[in-house]
Structures are given as structure tokens and as C-alpha cells.
């Protein structure tokens, strides 16, 4: 068994983990990244499309290029990287992991959670029918196509209009597969408008809204799916069934933060985001354990992930150095109305400006965000469109904050 | 008069552009929040361009892997499938550095294909 001491241990070597570790290293000496895969980069390694880095680097990069910039920086630094090493649990500020050589115990003054997210699967959305091969998540299909050189099938139907599904529709079409159509149960598309245009419209792939897959047909291999239109309550309308012959069904039905390890540390999780409940320094309910990136809440832009992770890394280092003082303020932050969630859930430090990140639950064509402190408006945004696929941010300056309760609302 | 919608891809704001045309000419562009939207709409209407991203085979230590690649600049949308056809034929050998040109004039687009990852 290997035992080692660190100032900061980062779990996960995706963009969040790398940025957190690099930033922590600016203030402390001993920083580690633990990654279960054989390379750093996380999900970016399979996101070979472009659209990354426009905000952070001011240029449009592909996922691997964005990752490479951080992989190079980590490689040139003193950060100790443990690859092919899976974290099993966190116990009393010790990260317990396993690799080929056995068990590792990494004792940390502060820990950063950066494990990313995983995809919702068929079980979580309950489609009736048989269990043939050929039904897989869009992310898994992306992994097969872009990393493992495997072809998922020939005639493809996609359920869900999330960005991963849209990106995969284009990718498989370019690879010569027959991408038949995308079905979305909601009356609106979940992915970004630019992806609808560039991934579907460019290739004449139809998008059917308010329609879902109601049956999976086939014994060994998928042979067809049955699709039906749904009513306002998202219930299938009898008589609208249609059989679509296909051998592959991709599910693009959402992501959930990956918090199995967080649970072992006793970190409180939000029922809405599935990620840890954090204060404005990104600290979880467990002192000295911080969270950032998709493990905290699902992000649409990696640029935001990097920024958030840098903050978590900075705060973790500060904690490791014993530079954090007991806070006296506790301002709870609540989401109201169409706002589905707001991060952080409490503000404990009011010396610096505070960034509130939020998402709406359904699209609002024209709305205005207002932040209330004890029912007094302290921030008002301009009128604009709000969609669930885009994370919004509001920055509050310290003088706007005092004891009480914050509420974020869109009207 | 015809109305088209476009997603401006110049920046992450992704403005939804509404373009009105008559006899094959743009008569009105709205929805943009900066002048770049106008330029984008004109280009998108006359000769749309797309960055093509894909993978090619790379050989390292006798084994084959996939190397992510992209066109260095966007290519005419008409040439996207020609670019893909060329991409399928390419095989490179490690070491390769990110940004390195792996193929020139890909799909006769007069554009270079570059590596998106360092493999040593
Ligand atoms: C398909 C797809 C398309 C996207 N498209 C875009 C886009 O066009 N533009 C954009 O800006 N953003 C895009 N994003 C979003 C962006 O890529 C992600 O938000 C970002 O990569 C998340 O970074 P992360 O570090 O939090 O998570 P990840 O990249 O998932 O990294 C988490 C890492 O933690 C490791 N890990 C997990 N558990 C353990 C454990 N127990 N022990 C050890 N290691 C562990 C994992 O192996 C992984 O490497 C896309 C995301 C996806 C999934």
C-alpha cells in the first residue's frame, strides 16, 4: 500500500480537475490529480467537434485541442498525476484509490471533487419493449466512433434533442451512416440553436418535437422503434403510433453529476442538480472538500468549467494553508418560479463579488431576471430569452449583500 | 419574399438571425446584436462554410489508434463530403504534435488538415 501526503488532492483529470490543480499549485507545493483513465482530458477526448474555448482562449477549438493546452501545462508542472487510478472513497480527508499496484492512500489538507457526469440511460427513462443490442447512449456512441473506431450501426434513430445527440447525428452522418431522425418529447429542442442548424438542418435530418419512442422492437438486435406523438402532459396519444425500422437507437436524454465518491465523504447533494450543495467559495457541506465542473452541475460550456475550477482550486489551496476564517454570514440563496436552480446555495463570504449561476426549467421567450434580498430587488437584468440549455450568470457586488435571504426570479 | 433563420456562429452568443430574401438577394437581416452578424448572414447565404472535424488512423508502437483532426479553416459546405472521403484514406504515424499539418489540400478545398492532439 502506498501512503502519501498532499496539500490538495484533485479527483478527476478532465478540464475541471486540471484547471483546479494548476490554480492550486500557484499557492501550495504538493498537488495531485487522480484519474481513472489512461490519459488526462476527461470527456473532451471524445468531443472532437469544435466550439470549445471561444470565451477562455478567444478562439474556436475542438475538445482535444482545448484539453491539450491544459495537459501540456500539467505536464510541465510539479503536479503529481496518478493515471489508471480509480478513487474508491474519501475518509477523514484521505483519498483512497486503487490501481494496478494496489491501494493508494492520499492524505490531503483539502480535496477538490472534479469527477464530471454520466449519462442517463434507458432504465432512467423507462421505455417499454425488449432489450436488444443497438440501444445505447449518445455519449457511448461518441466514444465508440471517436476513440475506439467502432461503428454503432447503420440505420440510426436518436431520442432526445440534447447537444450530444445533435452532435452525434452529424458525426454519424459524416461517417456515412443513415441518420433517420431525432425525436424529442418536449415541445421545444433541448440543444443549442446553432447545433440544430449545423448538425440537423445542414444534413436534412428531421427533428420531431412532442414525439417519443414508445416501444423498442427486436430480439437480439434492434429491428425497429415505435414512436408516438405526446399530449400536453407528455402522455403518448393512442392512434399516433408509427413503426420506424432501424438498428440503432441513441439516447440523448440528459446528464447526471457523478457523485458516488462524494457520498462516501458525507457530502450533501442537491435533489435538483444531483451535485453537491456548495457555498460561494465552492466548498461542500464537508469542510475542506470543494467541487467544480460537471460533478457540481452540468455545464454547457467548458470555458465556464475552467473558470469555476480555477476558483475551486484557489479556495482549496487557501484552505490547505489555513487561510480561511470562520464565516459569520450565512445568506441562503433560493430559486423561484421558472428558475430551476441557483448556485451557490449559500453565501458565506461577502468581501468579494459573488457570481450566481442559474438555469430555467423551460424556455421563456422574453423574461427579466431579478435578484431579491429579503424581497427588496438588488439586481435587475435586461429583457432577453431564457432557455434550459444555457446557464445564466448574475454578478452581485459585495455592497449589495447583507444578512437575509436571496431569491432569484425570472419574470 | 422568403424568410430564413440562421444561427450566427461567430461567438458564443449564437444570435438567431432572421434573413429576408427576394429574388435570391438578401433584403433584410435582423436578430444580430453586432455587425459581425450581418457579415455572417451574407456569407451563410451565398457560400456557407463549415469547419470539418473527424478522426484519422494513427500508428504508434505497431498499434492503431484514432487521432482527432480538423480542417485548419472552415471549408465550403459543398466540399464537406469530399473532405470526409479524403480523411478516410489517411493514416499517419506517431509522433504528431497538436496543430501539425497531416494532409494538404484536403478534398480539393485548398485547406490543410491538422492534428488536434499530441501523440508521442
Ligand atoms: C458530448 C459532449 C459535448 C459537449 N460539447 C461542448 C461544446 O461544444 N462546447 C463546450 O464548451 N462544452 C461542451 N461540452 C461540455 C464540456 O465538455 C464539459 O462540461 C466539460 O468537459 C466537463 O469537464 P469536467 O472536468 O467537469 O468533467 P469530465 O471531462 O467528465 O472529467 C471528469 C474526469 O473525472 C474522472 N473520474 C470520474 N470518477 C473518477 C474516480 N472515481 N476516480 C478517478 N477519476 C474519476 C473521469 O474519468 C474524467 O476523466 C460537451 C460535453 C459533452 C459530454
Residue A349 contacts residue A395 (beta carbons within 8 Å)? no
Residue A319 contacts residue A251 (beta carbons within 8 Å)? no
> Nine-digit cell at A107?
492524505
Say what the pLDDT of residue A390 is.
86
Q: A305 CB under 6 A from ligand 1? A: yes
**pLDDT tens by residue, chain B, 120 residues:** 899 999 998 887 788 999 999 998 999 999 998 999 999 999 999 999 999 999 999 999 999 999 999 999 999 999 999 999 999 999 999 999 999 999 999 999 999 999 999 999
A·B CB contacts under 8 A: 70
The mean pLDDT values, 10 residues at a time, for chain A of 411 residues are 95 98 98 97 97 92 98 98 98 96 97 95 75 93 96 96 95 97 94 92 97 94 97 96 97 91 96 94 96 95 96 97 80 91 89 90 91 92 88 89 89 88
CA distance A247 to A372: 52
A174 to chain B: which residues are within 8 Å by CB? 52, 54, 80-81, 84
CA distance A115 to A294: 7
Say what the pLDDT of residue A87 is.
98
B54–A174 C-beta distance less than 8 A:
yes
Q: Which atom of ligand 1 is nearest to the CA of A49?
A: 8
Say what the pLDDT of residue A306 is.
98
Pocket probe mutation, ligand 1, options A33, A38, A43, max atoms within 8 Å of Cβ: A43
- What distance in Å separates residue A68's CA from the closest CA in chain B? 6
Pairing assessment for the beta strands A369-373 and A50-52 based on DSSP bridges: unpaired
Find the A67 Cα to ligand 1 centroid distance in Å: 10
Say what the pLDDT of residue B14 is.
81
Nearest one of B89, B49, B85, B84 to B70, comparing CA atoms: B84
Q: At what angle do helices A63-75 and A302-320 cross, to 10 degrees?
A: 20
ipTM value > 0.90: yes
Q: A293 CB under 6 A from ligand 1? A: yes
CA distance A216 to A223: 8
Residue A211 contacts residue A227 (beta carbons within 8 Å)? yes
Residue B30 contacts residue B16 (beta carbons within 8 Å)? no
CA angle A23, A26, A32 (to 5 degrees): 65
Note the pLDDT tens digit of each residue in B89-108.
Answer: 999 999 999 999 999 999 99
CA distance A320 to A308: 18
Say what the pLDDT of residue A258 is.
93
Q: A308 CB under 6 A from ligand 1? A: no
CA distance A396 to A383: 18
CA distance A255 to A164: 10
User: What is the number of other CB atoms lying within 10 angstroms of the CB of residue A312?
Assistant: 31
Domains assigned to chain B: 2-46 (2.20.25), 53-115 (3.10.530.10)
> Nine-digit cell at A314?
484557489
Say what the pLDDT of residue A329 is.
78
Please tell me which residue of chain B has the smallest CA distance to A201. B6
Say what the pLDDT of residue A211 is.
97
A65 to chain B: which residues are within 8 Å by CB? 98-99, 116-117
Say what the pLDDT of residue A124 is.
66
Chain A contact for B77, CB < 8 A?
yes
Amino acid at each position: 500500500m502506498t501512503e502519501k501526503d498532499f496539500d490538495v488532492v484533485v479527483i478527476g483529470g478532465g478540464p475541471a480537475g486540471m484547471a483546479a490543480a494548476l490554480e492550486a499549485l500557484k499557492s501550495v507545493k504538493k498537488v495531485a490529480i487522480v484519474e481513472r483513465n489512461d490519459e488526462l482530458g476527461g470527456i473532451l477526448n471524445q468531443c472532437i467537434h469544435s466550439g470549445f474555448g471561444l470565451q477562455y482562449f478567444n478562439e474556436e477549438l475542438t475538445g482535444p485541442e482545448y484539453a491539450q493546452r491544459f495537459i501540456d501545462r500539467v505536464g510541465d508542472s510539479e503536479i503529481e498525476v496518478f493515471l489508471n487510478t480509480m478513487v474508491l472513497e474519501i475518509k477523514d480527508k484521505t483519498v483512497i484509490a486503487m490501481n494496478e499496484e494496489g491501494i493508494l492512500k492520499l492524505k490531503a489538507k483539502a480535496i477538490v471533487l472534479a469527477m464530471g457526469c454520466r449519462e442517463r440511460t434507458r432504465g432512467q427513462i423507462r421505455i417499454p419493449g425488449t432489450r436488444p443490442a443497438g440501444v445505447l447512449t449518445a455519449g457511448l456512441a461518441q466514444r465508440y466512433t471517436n476513440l475506439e473506431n467502432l461503428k454503432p450501426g447503420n440505420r440510426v434513430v436518436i431520442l432526445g434533442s440534447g447537444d450530444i445527440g445533435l452532435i452525434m447525428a452529424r458525426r454519424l452522418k459524416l461517417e456515412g451512416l443513415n441518420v433517420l431522425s431525432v425525436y424529442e418529447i418536449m415541445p421545444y429542442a433541448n440543444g443549442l440553436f446553432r447545433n440544430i442548424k449545423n448538425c440537423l438542418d445542414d444534413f436534412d435530418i428531421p427533428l420531431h418535437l412532442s414525439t417519443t419512442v414508445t416501444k423498442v422492437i427486436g430480439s437480439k438486435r434492434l429491428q425497429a422503434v415505435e414512436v408516438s406523438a405526446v399530449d400536453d402532459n407528455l402522455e403518448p396519444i393512442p392512434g399516433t403510433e408509427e413503426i420506424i425500422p432501424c438498428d440503432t437507437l441513441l439516447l440523448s436524454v440528459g446528464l447526471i453529476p457523478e457523485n458516488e465518491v462524494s457520498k462516501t465523504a458525507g457530502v450533501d447533494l442537491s435533489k435538483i442538480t444531483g451535485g453537491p450543495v456548495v457555498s460561494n467559495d465552492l466548498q461542500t457541506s464537508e469542510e475542506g472538500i470543494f467541487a467544480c465542473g460537471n460533478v457540481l452541475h452540468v455545464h454547457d460550456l467548458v470555458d465556464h468549467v475552467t473558470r469555476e475550477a480555477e476558483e475551486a482550486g484557489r479556495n482549496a489551496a487557501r484552505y490547505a494553508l489555513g487561510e480561511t476564517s470562520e464565516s459569520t454570514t450565512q445568506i441562503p440563496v433560493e430559486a423561484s418560479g421558472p428558475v430551476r436552480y441557483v448556485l451557490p446555495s449559500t453565501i458565506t463570504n461577502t468581501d468579494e463579488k459573488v457570481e450566481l449561476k442559474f438555469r430555467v426549467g423551460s424556455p421563456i421567450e422574453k423574461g427579466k431576471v431579478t435578484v431579491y434580498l429579503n424581497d427588496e430587488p438588488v439586481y435587475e437584468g435586461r429583457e432577453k430569452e431564457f432557455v434550459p440549455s444555457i446557464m445564466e450568470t448574475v454578478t452581485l457586488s459585495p455592497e449589495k449583500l447583507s444578512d437575509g435571504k436571496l431569491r432569484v426570479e425570472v419574470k | 419574399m422568403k424568410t430564413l433563420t440562421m444561427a450566427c456562429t461567430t461567438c458564443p452568443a449564437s444570435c438567431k438571425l432572421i434573413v429576408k430574401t427576394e429574388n435570391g438577394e438578401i433584403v433584410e437581416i435582423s436578430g444580430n446584436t453586432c455587425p459581425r452578424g450581418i457579415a455572417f448572414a451574407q456569407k451563410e447565404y451565398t457560400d456557407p462554410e463549415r469547419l470539418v472535424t473527424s478522426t484519422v488512423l494513427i500508428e504508434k508502437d505497431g498499434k492503431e489508434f484514432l487521432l482527432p483532426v480538423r480542417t485548419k479553416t472552415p471549408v465550403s459546405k459543398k466540399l464537406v463530403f469530399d473532405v470526409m472521403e479524403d480523411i478516410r484514406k489517411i493514416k499517419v504515424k506517431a509522433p504528431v504534435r497538436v496543430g501539425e499539418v497531416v494532409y494538404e489540400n484536403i478534398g480539393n478545398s485548398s485547406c490543410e488538415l491538422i492534428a488536434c492532439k499530441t501523440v508521442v
